[in-house]
Each structure stands twice: as structure tokens, then as C-alpha cells.
Amino acid sequence: MNEKVLVAYGSTNGSTAGIAEHIGAVLAEDGLAVDVRPAADVTDLTAYGAVVLGGALYAGRWQRDARRFARRHREALAERPVWLFSSGPLDPSASERDIPPVPGVRRVADRIDARGHTTFGGRLEGEVKGRIARMIVNSGKGGDYRDFGQIGDWAAGVARDLRGAGT
């Protein structure tokens, strides 16, 4: 694969950014050229042969920057291989079973014919943005539920798919 892979993400409190960075590192270890960037900073997909797009889940919706990215680049995304991920459950459920995409993400996946979607556990701890997020942390219901082994395995599968497709 000669073209770069873009790993774009929408993250408010940094958890999804950390997941995206890990996905990018796994893809790079497999020999792929990778850019990991906030979704809001990406204006053109011309240089990318494939895209991984992720967003944090807030109240059952993808983070705003991920939604906007998917809408703004809909045509370009439909022309290349795309994988989607969501992050958010503040419990171990995402490591224990497959969690289907929320309806809005399912619509994005269908519109662009995404090759796959997965949901990873999220992280919400420390100083966080947003009143509800602060309430969750202050009530003791936050924590870090990201499973980097699961994330790495999923990213390795994306790399295998890209190698197999010769994209």
C-alpha cells in the first residue's frame, strides 16, 4: 500500500484520542504510513488511501467532530476503505461482548459502506470538560475502561485487511 492511512477522531476529554494514537501506532508497526489527526483538523482526504474514523459516545451520539467529519467527507469516504470505532462505555462491557454501533453511527457506516465498526471502552477521569462528565467523575463512576490489547488486535485486523486488499 503506497498511500497513507488516516486515523481521524473526535474526542472531548482525550480518551478517544488515546485510542486513535494506539491504532495509528499498530498500523505503523505493520509498515503502513499513518497520520493520526483530530477530525476537525482534516480538510482533504486526497492523500489517504484508507481511513479509520472514531468518535467518543456522549448520550448515545458520536462526538460532534466525528459526526461533522463523516458528513463533510461523505463522498470521499465512500470511495476508499473505511473502518469506524466508537468509545465510551464506562464499564468493562466493551471488552466482554460486541456492542453494536449507535443508530447515528450505523447510518454513517451504511452510507459510506464502512468495512467494520467496533466499540471500545472509554475513559473519564481527572479534570474533564462538561457538566455531566464532571458529575460522573465526582460521583465515582468514572475510570479507564480502554482495553489496549483489544484495540491493538482490532487495528492489526485492519492492517491485515488493507494488506489483503492491496489498497
Residue found by looking up cell 450505523 in the block: 106
Do strands 48-58 and 82-87 pair parallel, antiparallel, or not at all (unpaired)? Answer: parallel
**pTM score, two decimals?**
0.91
Q: What is the per-residue pLDDT for 166?
A: 54
Cell of 165: 486488499
Residue found by looking up cell 456492542 in the block: 99
CB 124 within 8 Å of CB 137: yes
Q: What is the per-residue pLDDT for 144?
A: 81
Q: What is the per-residue pLDDT for 42?
A: 97
Cell of 71: 458528513
Residue found by looking up cell 488486535 in the block: 153
Q: What is the per-residue pLDDT for 137?
A: 63
Q: What is the per-residue pLDDT for 13?
A: 82
List, run by run, the mean pLDDT of 10-residue segments along the chain (167 residues): 84 92 97 97 96 92 95 97 93 90 95 96 78 74 86 97 74
